[in-house]
Amino acid sequence: MKGWLITNAFLHTHKFSEISLWLIEAAKKLSVELIAKTNAEVLVQLDSDFPNDKRLNQNGKPDFVLFWDKDVRLASFLEMKGHLVFNSSRGIAVCDDKSLTHLYLQGAGIKMPHTILAPMTFSNIGYNNLEFLAPVEKELSYPVIIKECFGSFGQQVYMADNRQELEDRVLSIGARPMLFQEFIQSSKGKDLRLQVVGNQVVAAMCRYSGNGDFKANITNGGKMRPYEPSQKQMDLAVQCCKILGLDFAGVDILFGENQEPVVCEVNSNAHFKNIYDCTGINVADSIIEYIIKRICIG
Ligand SMILES: Nc1ncnc2c1ncn2[C@@H]1O[C@H](COP(=O)(O)OP(=O)(O)O)[C@@H](O)[C@H]1O
Ligand SMILES: [Mg+2]
């Protein structure tokens, strides 16, 4: 069996390259040849039958494409050309944009923090009127969480304690899409990461900031410990993946009032090094096993 591993040509840090190595290694263990290519090598050439990479084409069409990138135009193109792409372009696109994740999940009745999307503006104009912040502060009350719709590792998630901080943050984010969210106080500085592969939770950890920060991301200085999720938490994570059409994902769950699970976000390309360090479970193995099963059983 042979697959392509598509990654981003412009992310060079160890954090990203090690994910590729782990996936290739996991594939090798199961006699799957995983050929690494970047999105800059497999250009979307709309009028061609195949992506314009001679080496890939010489080797013939792969059995699957493991798409470890967010270049959803390329993912859609590969799907259009009849490739079996994991995760699907739609799943990746909906997860990449936190506002779309909320729209789809809340629309399907999943419990998430109360959320208001910022009205869209244009980069050459920005927000020249902030009146829309009045209902935001009234509905959500302070502290308000502000998230850029496109962001990772907690780096584009902020908190505002008053109107001035809210306005300053909105103006500094500018025209980049953002949303405003209720702060789940009972989950301050802690959350769960449930790793789902093929409708099953394969690993779970609890993350906690330990330094007073409201964000629990490990990249942000958070700590982690293995966690035994409840059936309700597991069902919720699997249900999110089903709704969003994801074969695998890292689902972040907050602790609501009375321990009620509240979905924070879903990561289609969740890094799995931390969860391995925490639990000893190699999610790369589960992903490759799942893909083999999907291809063999259908
Ligand atoms: N509404 C919220 N209430 C409480 N904590 C939150 C809320 N939203 C996010 N957080 C905290 O901030 C962290 C980062 O937010 P998240 O939406 O997962 O963004 P990222 O994609 O950057 O990880 C979460 O892991 C959680 O600890
Ligand atoms: Mg997160």
pLDDT of residue 56: 52
Per-residue pLDDT, averaged over 153-162, amounts to 96
What does the alpha-carbon distance between residue 113 and residue 98 come to, in Å, rounded to a whole number?
12
In the chain, which residues fall in CATH 3.30.1490.20?
A: 115-183
pLDDT of residue 249: 98
Position with higher pLDDT, 67 vs 61: 67
Choose which residue among 102, 152, 185, 215 to substitute to test ligand 1 binding: the one with the highest number of ligand atoms within 8 A of its C-beta.
215
Q: Dihedral (C-alpha) 162, 214, 235, 79: value to the nearest 10 degrees?
A: 80
- Residue 148 in this model has a pLDDT that exceeds 90: yes
Position with higher pLDDT, 13 vs 149: 149
Distances, alpha carbon 143 to alpha carbons 180, 253, 256, 265, 266, in Å: 10, 20, 16, 19, 23
CATH class of 2-86: alpha beta
Estimate the crossing angle of helix 14-29 against helix 283-297, to 10 degrees.
Answer: 50
Nearest ligand for residue 153 CA: 1
| Whole-number average pLDDT of the chain | 94
Distance of CA 192 to the CA centre of its chain: 14
Tokens of 210: 């330990």
In the chain, which residues fall in CATH 3.40.50.20?
A: 2-86
How does residue 51 score in pLDDT terms, banded at 50, 70 and 90? Answer: low
For residue 274 and ligand 1, the question of a CB distance below 6 A is answered with no
Among 88-92, 145-149, 257-261, name the one with the lowest average pLDDT.
257-261
Per-residue pLDDT, averaged over 105-112, amounts to 96
Among 164-173, 216-225, 280-289, name the one with the lowest average pLDDT.
216-225
For residue 255 and ligand 1, the question of a CB distance below 6 A is answered with no
Q: Dihedral (C-alpha) 263, 266, 270, 276: value to the nearest 10 degrees?
A: 20
DSSP the chain: -EEEEEE-TT--SHHHHHHHHHHHHHHHHTT-EEEEEETTTS---TTSSS-S-HHHHHT---SEEEE-S--HHHHHHHHHTT--EES-HHHHHHHHSHHHHHHHHHHTT-----EEEPPP--TTT--S--TTHHHHHHHH-SSEEEEESS--TTTTEEEESSHHHHHHHHHHHTTS-EEEEE--GGGTTEEEEEEEETTEEEEEEEEE-SSS-S---TTTT-EEEE----HHHHHHHHHHHHHHT-SEEEEEEEE-GGG-EEEEEEETT---HHHHHHH---HHHHHHHHHHHHHHH-
What does the alpha-carbon distance between residue 8 and residue 255 come to, in Å, rounded to a whole number?
33
Nearest to 3 by CA among 66, 80, 77: 66
- Residue 49 in this model has a pLDDT that exceeds 70: no
pLDDT of residue 210: 85
In the chain, which residues fall in CATH 3.30.470.20?
A: 93-111+186-297
Q: Which protein residue has the closest C-alpha to ligand 1 atom 7?
A: 183
- Residue 52 in this model has a pLDDT that exceeds 80: no
One of 3.40.47.10, 2.40.10.10, 3.40.718.10, 3.30.470.20 is the CATH number of 93-111+186-297, namely: 3.30.470.20
CA–centroid distance, 150 to ligand 2, in Å, is 11
Among 36-40, 53-57, 125-129, name the one with the lowest average pLDDT.
53-57
Position with higher pLDDT, 87 vs 43: 87
CA–centroid distance, 127 to ligand 1, in Å, is 25
Among 1-10, 57-66, 71-80, 245-254, name the one with the lowest average pLDDT.
57-66
**CATH architecture group of domain 115-183:** 2-Layer Sandwich (3.30)
CA–centroid distance, 153 to ligand 2, in Å, is 6
For residue 116 and ligand 1, the question of a CB distance below 6 A is answered with no
- Residue 298 in this model has a pLDDT that exceeds 90: no
Tokens of 213: 């920060």
CA 76-78-82 angle, to 5 degrees, is 110
How does residue 94 score in pLDDT terms, banded at 50, 70 and 90? Answer: very high
